[in-house]
Structure 1
């Protein structure tokens, strides 16, 4: 008896040149017999995007930066891969009919393309947490309306999904996200305040893009993940917790009503959660290092220090405040992180700018609840303007 081969899955990669995108490319290349690539989308690195498109045999490659369109077209000349550029081309690529989409365009810039993919339906592997932070209620409403399947790629949320083991959420008492603690876990408050970009970019366990690495250093990343988890799993915010776990072996824990706890464990390699979504509901192999607990020897845990890392507290407060507070939080944080990376403000100014932007937005009645994705994008723009107003004073202190 001959068993029929599984049908090939047609996929698109939004954010193909970033760290998550490159990890996804690696898995697709390792399982080339399972996937056909429709579209690859990148930000501004035309040469890297062209190389990925050719290697994967993509039908179309799109660079978001319209000014890089000519460079992409030249790099793809004679390859048979269609080239396009600009924001509208990104939306068109995200809207192409596929079975599976990796949504890995970072920041609020990824919201519109991801929504375009959601509205088309299929499986959305969500690596852009800002979609749920900026527009959680509206985003999940679009997912339900389109009948799309949303699978989390963040290692923590993916671990929680797997730790659930198919149990209903009514059986869950609490969910716990783990945090590595970042590069400053053991630093004093004074030393943290004086940290430079090169210090903050030295993550002890993960290899990630610059923005998310800075968010890990402030612990804002864990705060954004709490907000994301609230929307993904639809349980109350008081049923989520965070614990610092420096080894980054346990990524998430689910405590059930009977006291039993299940945990998602894996080496700190993004190919593990990506593979879970890429093959879902089946499993595909990865080259990730297998856990050797005897060699690791000990797993340690500690409570997060909200005095040294106020960004996590700000995120919790934004989640509790509801309405548009999380949208404002994310917008202000993106502005502040970009300023820090360009050395225009100090590390301690990041949470300060976020806090002041939240206060200002509330004072002028700006923190309204976004009813639609378009509302969320408008609020995001207004919050960025408020955050930028604080720049001159911060720049003065940074120098």
Structure 2
């Protein structure tokens, strides 16, 4: 029986993980669950899976069965017997719990891509030192992870991330100025939280995934590519030096990569939808349009520089810009413009410790808020 903990249990990924665990209670023992503010949902989950601890990090809980504060969460990670932690918090907030898990030598099922975007080199080196595994939960990185099993890294020619193209794939570029929040939150294939859904609409999500892949699979930008694949059946693929492509296919259902990461190296017998190849009419692939998706171009550009200050700045500026869009303070097309303006202020350099990353992220967010206030207030 695997002892697991979930950081970000009440979000989209965490909630689907709870659904998986409830079906396989004989396979998992839940040591802890954490959430930011959703106390009622957290308490319900604690009871459903009989979790030993539940921690609320964003506000003082009303129920005495729930602990309070990030320090309580870190204390549990640092001291309790845990086999794997699902890192599913939204954004930069997932970095510190992920770091503590890896430092302790606990395997991490990583859904919080921002951890590797902002601290990729530190976390991968630490994982190598402590002997723990980082198992990706993103459907794309899970596909790459599975496609690479049994193959040599030196034989890898290219990693190809697939992208649905989001809700605006067929929308004219000159109409993006008029995008409403409700439109940006209507993803054609996946059900996700608001922030990641907006990231999918701008394709910044794919940009962050490129950076994550750079560290997760230790490859340069020259070996990374993105194709638009509207059907979201092929979740990503790898090309080897002999011309062989290996891909992982499946219907768009996050329970598949979640369950695979939690149960690895086993597979659970999930009751998910199967592909009917007799009815699957077509699979299409297109080149991304950087005019329509400037956020993706920005990510490719900073990857060529390969400096952590740019990765941290990209992530922090994007989080604040998306927050501002969701609060109706800026337009959809302003997200990329703000990120670019912030990056122009950043000196390309390596940021070499978690403490420095936290401080630098704070600096970036202050600059982003200042730019938004100056331009849009």
In terms of mean alpha carbon deviation, does 333-342 or 113-122 score higher?
A: 113-122
Distance 1:206 1:181 in 2: 12
Choose the corresponding residue for 2:314, options 304, 329, 336.
329
Aligned residues: 375
Specify which of 143, 146, 155 is matched with residue 159 of structure 1.
143
SS, match of residue 346 in structure 1? coil
Matched, 1:379 2:372: no
Q: Does 1:139 align with 2:123?
A: yes
Distance across 1 between alignment mates of 2:372 and 2:140: 33
2:339 matches 1:357? no
CA contact (8 A) 2:84 2:106 kept: yes
CA apart distance, 1:369: 1.1
CA deviation vs aligned residue, 1:106-125 (integer Å, no higher than 9, x gap): 11111001111111113210
Taking the aligned partners of 2:375 and 2:20, their CA distance within structure 1 comes to 43
Q: Quick one: distance in 1 between partners of 2:339 and 2:370? A: 12
Select 2:7's aligned residue among 11, 14, 19: 14
Write the distance in 1 (CA, Å) between the matches of 2:59 and 2:76.
14
Partner of 1:93: 76
Q: Distance in 2 between matches of 1:179 and 1:19?
A: 19
- The answer to whether 1:64 aligns with 2:47 is no
TM-score, structure 1 normalization: 0.92
**3-state SS, counterpart of residue 167 of structure 2:** coil
- Deviation digits for residues 2-32 of structure 1, max 9, x if unmatched? xxxxxx1111111100110011101111011
Q: Distance in 2 between matches of 1:91 and 1:55?
A: 23
SS in 1 for 2:291: coil
CA deviations on 1:123-169 (whole Å, 9 max, x unpaired) are 21000000111111112122122211110000000001111132011
1:226 is matched with: 210
Q: CA RMSD in A?
A: 1.1
- Asked if the contact 2:251/2:273 (under 8 Å) is kept, the reply is yes
- Using the size of structure 2 for normalisation, the TM-score is 0.97
1:84 to 56, 64, 67: 67
Partner of residue 259, structure 1: 243
Deviation at 1:296, TM superposition (A): 2.2
The match for 1:26 among 19, 30, 39 is 19
Query: Which of 41, 63, 86 pairs up with 2:34?
Result: 41
The alpha-carbon deviation at position 44 of structure 1 amounts to 0.4
Q: Which runs of 5+ in 2 are unaligned?
A: none
Kindly report which structure 2 residues correspond to 1:125-204, keeping only aligned pairs within 5 A, or say none.
125-204=109-188
Measured at CA, do residues 94 and 192 of structure 1 come closer, stay the same or move farther in structure 2, by a change above 3 Å?
farther
Where does residue 274 of structure 1 map in the other structure?
258
Deviation of 1:393 (Å):
4.4
Contact kept in structure 1, 2:36 and 2:59, CA below 8 Å: no
Cross-structure match for 1:80 = none
| Structure 1 counterpart of 2:287, from 299, 303, 324 | 303
Partners of 2:128 and 2:245 lie apart in 1 by 29
